[in-house]
Amino acid sequence: MKDSNMIEKSVKMLKALSEINKEAFNPQRDKRSLFNRILNTVLDLTGSEYGFVGEILLRDESPLLKTYAITDISWDEETKKLYKKYEAQGMEFTNLNTLFGYCMRTGEVIISNDPANDPNKGGLPKGHPALNHFLGIPLMDKDNLMIGMLGIANKKGGYSENDVIYLEPLLTLSASLISNLKEISVKEYFSDTLDSYRNAIDRHEIVSVTDSKGVITYVNKNFCDQSKYSTNELIGKTHAIVNSGYHDKAFFRKLWSTIGSGEIWQGEIRNCAKDGSIY
C-alpha cells in the first residue's frame, strides 16, 4: 500500500511538472497565472490549505517578500479589498519576526507543526484562518543565493523533511523561473536607463562611437553640425576624416592606448570641419 502511494505521488508530480514546463516555455505565458499554477499544484500534492510563492527583494538592506502567487484567505471586507488590490502586482511582507520571516532571515527551511508555541511565531491578525502547521522553503539560484520563498500551511498531520525532498523538482523549477524574471527585469532596467542617459547626452554633447579598430559606427546630430559632415559621410570612416594635423602621432597613440586598455581618456583635440574651419 505504501509503495502504491509513492508511485501515485510520483506520477502526479511528473504530470504536474510536464504541464507547468509546457506553460513556462509558452512565450505568451502570464507570470501570475504560471506561479498560481505552481502554488496550486504544491497545495494539491501536499494536501495543504493555503500558501504563497514569491521573490525575495532587498529594501534598505532588509529582505522583503513580494508574492507572485498567494491563496486568497481574506476573512473580512477589508482584507478582501486588500487581496483584490494587490492581486496583479503582488503583496509585500516585511515582518521578519514571523515563521516566514525566519526563513527569509536565515535562508533555512522552517518546519513548524506547533506554530502557536514556536519561538519564531509572529502572531496572527484577528480573524485570520487557523495556522496549525507551516512549512517555509527558501528558493535558491544557481549560485546558492536566496531569491525566493515558498510557504504552505495546514497539511493534515503536519510537515516533515520528506515534503521538502518530494517538492524539490517544483522548487528548482520555481527558482529557475524567478531567476529568469529577475534577469529580464535587470536587462530592461539597464536598457531603459542607458537609453535615457544616451538621449540626455545626445542633446547636449558631441558624441561618436567607434568599433575596436576606430571605425565610426555612430554619430549624433551635434557631431554632424559641428564637423559639417553628414551621418553617411562619417559612418564607416575613422576620425582621421576630421584630423586637423595639429597633433602628432604620439598624441593619438596615447589616446587609443588609454581607451584600448579600458581606461577613460580626457583631453582636448583640435579638429577640422569639412569646410576647413577649426573646432
Q: What is the CATH number of the domain that holds 239?
A: 3.30.450.20
User: What confidence score (pLDDT) does residue 7 get?
Assistant: 73
CATH of the domain at 38: 3.30.450.40
Please check whether residue 43 is in contact with residue 73, taking contact to mean a CB–CB distance below 8 angstroms.
no
Query: Based on the domain organization, do 11 and 146 belong to the same domain?
Result: yes
Q: Which of 123, 146, 181 is the last residue of a domain?
A: 181
Query: Based on the domain organization, do 59 and 160 belong to the same domain?
Result: yes
User: What confidence score (pLDDT) does residue 186 get?
Assistant: 55
Inside any domain, residue 9: yes
265, amino acid identity: W
Query: Based on the domain organization, do 31 and 72 belong to the same domain?
Result: yes
Query: Based on the domain organization, do 116 and 239 belong to the same domain?
Result: no
Give the model's confidence band at 193: pLDDT under 50 very low, under 70 low, under 90 confident, else very high: low
- The count of structural domains within the chain is 2
Inside any domain, residue 188: no
Q: How large a percentage of the chain has pLDDT more than 90?
A: 48
Query: Based on the domain organization, do 163 and 215 belong to the same domain?
Result: no
Q: Mind listing the pLDDT tens digit for each residue in 46-102? A: 999 999 999 998 888 888 999 999 999 998 898 899 888 888 788 999 899 999 999
Q: How many residues does the chain have?
A: 279
Q: Decide if pLDDT at 2 tops 60.
A: no
Give the model's confidence band at 177: pLDDT under 50 very low, under 70 low, under 90 confident, else very high: confident
Q: Decide if pLDDT at 199 tops 80.
A: no
Residues 6+ apart with CB under 8 A from 94: 59, 62, 64, 65
* Least confident interval from 97-106, 218-227, 254-263: 254-263
Inside any domain, residue 164: yes
User: What confidence score (pLDDT) does residue 195 get?
Assistant: 62
Query: Based on the domain organization, do 173 and 251 belong to the same domain?
Result: no
Q: Decide if pLDDT at 184 tops 70.
A: no
Element (H, E) at 16: helix 2-24
Query: Based on the domain organization, do 44 and 154 belong to the same domain?
Result: yes
Please state, in angstroms and rounded to a whole number, the distance separating the CA atoms of residues 126 and 91: 19
State the chain's mean pLDDT as an integer.
86
Query: Based on the domain organization, do 232 and 177 belong to the same domain?
Result: no
Query: Based on the domain organization, do 133 and 257 belong to the same domain?
Result: no
Query: Based on the domain organization, do 238 and 273 belong to the same domain?
Result: yes
Mean pLDDT of 186-199: 60
Please state, in angstroms and rounded to a whole number, the distance separating the CA atoms of residues 191 and 189: 5
Calculate the CA dihedral of residues 260, 261, 264, 266 and round it to 10 degrees.
Answer: -60
Inside any domain, residue 127: yes
Query: Based on the domain organization, do 37 and 140 belong to the same domain?
Result: yes
Inside any domain, residue 186: no
Q: Mind listing the pLDDT tens digit for each residue in 10-40? A: 787 888 788 777 776 665 667 788 899 999 9
Residue ranges making up the domain that contains 106: 2-181
pTM recorded for the entire structure = 0.64
Inside any domain, residue 195: no
Q: What is the DSSP string of 240-276?
A: GGGB-S-S-HHHHHHHHHHHHTTPPP-----BB-TTS
Please state, in angstroms and rounded to a whole number, the distance separating the CA atoms of residues 96 and 61: 13
Higher pLDDT, 4 or 245: 245
Query: Based on the domain organization, do 157 and 232 belong to the same domain?
Result: no
